[in-house]
Chains A and B, each alone.
Chain A
Amino acid sequence: MKFLFDRNTWQEIFGSISKNKTRTIITVIGVLWGIFIYIVLAGASKGMDNGFEKNFESVARNSIWAWSQNTSIPYEGFKKGRNIRLKVEDAVILKNRIPEIQYIAPVNTKGVFGGEPALTTRGFKSNSYAVYGYAPEIAKIATQKIYDNGRFINEEDMLQSRKVCVIGERTQQELFDEDEDPIGGYIRVEDVYFQVVGVHKFTQTTPFGTDGDIFIPFNTFKKLYNTGDGTQFFTIAAYDDADVIQVEKDIKAVLRSIHRVHPDDERAFGAFNLGEIFGKIMGFANGITFMSLVVGLVTILAGVIGIGNILLISVKERTKELGIRRALGATPNEVRTLIILESVFLTLLSGIIGIILGAGVLNLLNNLTQDIDFPYTNPTVPIPYVIGALLIMIILGTLIGSIPAQRAVSIKPIDALREE
């Protein structure tokens, strides 16, 4: 092992590869390309991974929206086609019967799924906006980003059915002047005055929603629009470790039993299962990561084999040189070491250049995708992957290098010298 740290060894290797520039460059490009592809693919798939995660970061990843529809099977004397109305009390039953449910909140809306948006005015300014009756729990299911000084609907608002509202960015722009503080101001929603307590920053936390939505307490909504104990849909979050597909099935089953719907009636209740979709997307992202690792590693392998190939030719080309070296006293081991170290050195050199170039391209991609709507954030390659790739390169470089090295010492020096 001593020769590895001997300056003379490296001077000899460096001399040999720096004086054969064309050969060195061609050799280097092979592995460089391989590791470059590996780094770019691994980083890009990680970036996509991060991008998906970022898109979903503000919403509980296992949230489910459940609503009622019409029955499709006659049951217990009811004919088919009966319209089912969800009730607020269903939430309590669901939570009691399905332990996987962490939060459940009823939601009523106006102007989202049918119905006219509410005409909202303030002074001479007016526009129509969708109105949501939201319980405070909603903030736990889908994180609400509220601008400074503002707040989301709280328990007191709920209990006292306060006439307060959280408005969207667009609503603020359209109803308030630019330098005006909307917090504490009043807007009129269909003849009822509401005090603005917060402005929400719009993020796609639900399958619906816009930047103009007005949120009011669920109980206020109930009184305002006389919805009684009815609710349009439930927003549900399951615990992180729950099987969301099973939870969705359980929810529908419980709802069927409460509302006396045939157990096999699939059409009576609808649900949008974000957890399931998220799972599919992450599965897809994992698949891409795995594939890019495989492709990258195979490309590295191809590159290293390329190095072996070129070294094999170069050994043939250098037969005479190696013969001279041996006539001058190089032992077979020294010749073998020279070739193997050349191989490992070239592999590592090109590997490191490839990593640097790959990192540069990843950085460029990151900058280019910064402002566009594409799930791509912070593309990084985990250090263990990089070290792993370097180790693989050293091992492969040694293995591949030992083939031409063996070839080099298998020729007798006298035959090597005769070579013209």
Chain B
Amino acid sequence: MIEIKDLHKSYKMGSNSLHVLKGINFSVEEGELVAIMGSSGSGKSTLLNILGMLDVANSGEYNLDGVPIKNLNETKAAKYRNKFLGFVFQSFNLINYKSALENVALPLYYQRIPRKERLERALKYLEQVGLKEWATHLPSELSGGQKQRVAIARAMASEPKVLLADEPTGALDSVTSYEVMDLIQKINDQGNTILVVTHEDDIAHMCKRIVHLKDGVIVEDKKVKQVRASEYV
């Protein structure tokens, strides 16, 4: 599904240049649930941003579902993001003046799906995350866990090939974190490919594979025995 070869990324900070990713080689099969771990500054978020086409690598190859991702302009990147990727952010990033349902329907709007069908599909995904009754509520009326579940529903609504989650539990307490991870595991059980960036060990062990990043290189890449989050809930 995802194939990365010799990926480099550096940022210019004034006269210095900060080498964040120093040759990443990495591939993900369909249906995997991968945790990307590392301390802050290890380059894990940068890697996720490049995978999410929010950022561009300096060199290296990136193939997504057989499509080479290169020479992206903003318009093309936006189309690919819409077609291939779903995003879950640490700070939820819901649009605060839209209801939960409208938030979930937003990626479908950019796929030019008519409003009625859009809302129907959005409601279906809200039901999957157990928030059907909260459809008309604004994000400010939801708890953190509920917001993240709306965000996951939104990421899933466009039926992406890969779900990218950047610290999805970073802003949540542990009980809520497990609930969210339980949801992510269930989505993975349906055969979806998911990448989770985290720095929490227990969250990482709820995935099927852990990739350790340190100073811009992968230091460890191992399969683990998945801990079901439902055990804690």
A→B interface (CB under 8 Å): 7-8, 11-12, 15-16, 19-20, 320-321, 323-334, 409, 412-414, 417, 420
A325 to B107, CA, bound (A): 8
Chain B residues whose C-beta falls within 8 Å of the C-beta of A12 in the assembled complex: 109
The reply to whether the CB of B158 lies closer than 8 angstroms to some CB of chain A is yes
The answer to whether A414 and B81 touch across the interface, beta carbons within 8 angstroms, is: no
The reply to whether the CB of B67 lies closer than 8 angstroms to some CB of chain A is no
The answer to whether B75 and A331 touch across the interface, beta carbons within 8 angstroms, is: yes
Cβ-neighbour of A19 out of B87, B94, B98 (below 8 A): B98
Provide the B87-99 mask, 1 if CB < 8 A to any CB of A, else 0.
1010101111110
Chain A residues whose C-beta falls within 8 Å of the C-beta of B109 in the assembled complex: 8, 12
The answer to whether A328 and B110 touch across the interface, beta carbons within 8 angstroms, is: yes
Q: What is the minimal beta-carbon distance from B111 to any residue of chain A, in angstroms?
A: 7
Chain A residues whose C-beta falls within 8 Å of the C-beta of B82 in the assembled complex: 328-329
A342 to B7, CA, bound (A): 41
A358 to B78, CA, bound (A): 45
Query: Chain A residue with minimal CB distance to B97?
Result: A19
Cβ-neighbour of A321 out of B81, B95, B102 (below 8 A): B95
Please give the number of chain B residues whose Cβ is less than 8 angstroms from any Cβ of chain A in the complex.
Answer: 31
The reply to whether the CB of B49 lies closer than 8 angstroms to some CB of chain A is yes
A20 to B97, CA, bound (A): 8
A20 to B98, CA, bound (A): 11
Cβ-neighbour of B107 out of A16, A329, A331, A420 (below 8 A): A329
The answer to whether B115 and A332 touch across the interface, beta carbons within 8 angstroms, is: no
The answer to whether B97 and A414 touch across the interface, beta carbons within 8 angstroms, is: no
The reply to whether the CB of B34 lies closer than 8 angstroms to some CB of chain A is no
The answer to whether B93 and A15 touch across the interface, beta carbons within 8 angstroms, is: no
Which of B110-165 touch A at CB < 8 Å? Answer: 110-112, 114-115, 154, 158
Chain B residues whose C-beta falls within 8 Å of the C-beta of A320 in the assembled complex: 93
Chain B residues whose C-beta falls within 8 Å of the C-beta of A325 in the assembled complex: 95, 106, 110
Q: What is the minimal beta-carbon distance from B157 to any residue of chain A, in angstroms?
A: 9
The answer to whether A332 and B75 touch across the interface, beta carbons within 8 angstroms, is: yes
Cβ-neighbour of A324 out of B78, B93, B111 (below 8 A): B93
Q: What is the minimal beta-carbon distance from A335 to any residue of chain B, in angstroms?
A: 9
Chain A residues whose C-beta falls within 8 Å of the C-beta of B110 in the assembled complex: 325, 328-331, 334
Cβ-neighbour of B81 out of A16, A328, A417, A420 (below 8 A): A328
Q: What is the minimal beta-carbon distance from A3 to any residue of chain B, in angstroms?
A: 10
Instruction: Rank and list the top 3 A-B pairs by shortest CB-CB distance, nearest first.
Output: A329-B82, A19-B97, A329-B110
The answer to whether B49 and A414 touch across the interface, beta carbons within 8 angstroms, is: yes
Q: A8-B109, A15-B102, A417-B93 are in contact. Are A330 and B78 (CB under 8 A)?
A: yes
Which of B30-63 touch A at CB < 8 Å? Answer: 49, 52, 54-55
A167 to B107, CA, bound (A): 86
The answer to whether B54 and A413 touch across the interface, beta carbons within 8 angstroms, is: yes
Q: What is the minimal beta-carbon distance from A413 to any residue of chain B, in angstroms?
A: 6
Chain B residues whose C-beta falls within 8 Å of the C-beta of A321 in the assembled complex: 95-96
The answer to whether B114 and A8 touch across the interface, beta carbons within 8 angstroms, is: yes
Could you list 18 examples of A-B contacts with CB < 8 Å?
A7-B115, A8-B112, A8-B114, A16-B97, A324-B93, A326-B74, A327-B54, A327-B87, A328-B81, A328-B106, A328-B110, A328-B154, A329-B110, A330-B78, A331-B79, A409-B74, A413-B54, A417-B89
Chain A residues whose C-beta falls within 8 Å of the C-beta of B75 in the assembled complex: 331-333
Query: Chain B residue with minimal CB distance to A326?
Result: B78
A7 to B117, CA, bound (A): 14
Q: A12-B109, A417-B89 are in contact. Are A329 and B81 (CB under 8 A)?
A: yes
Query: Chain B residue with minimal CB distance to A333?
Result: B75
Q: A15-B98, A320-B93, A332-B74 are in contact. Are A327 and B81 (CB under 8 A)?
A: yes
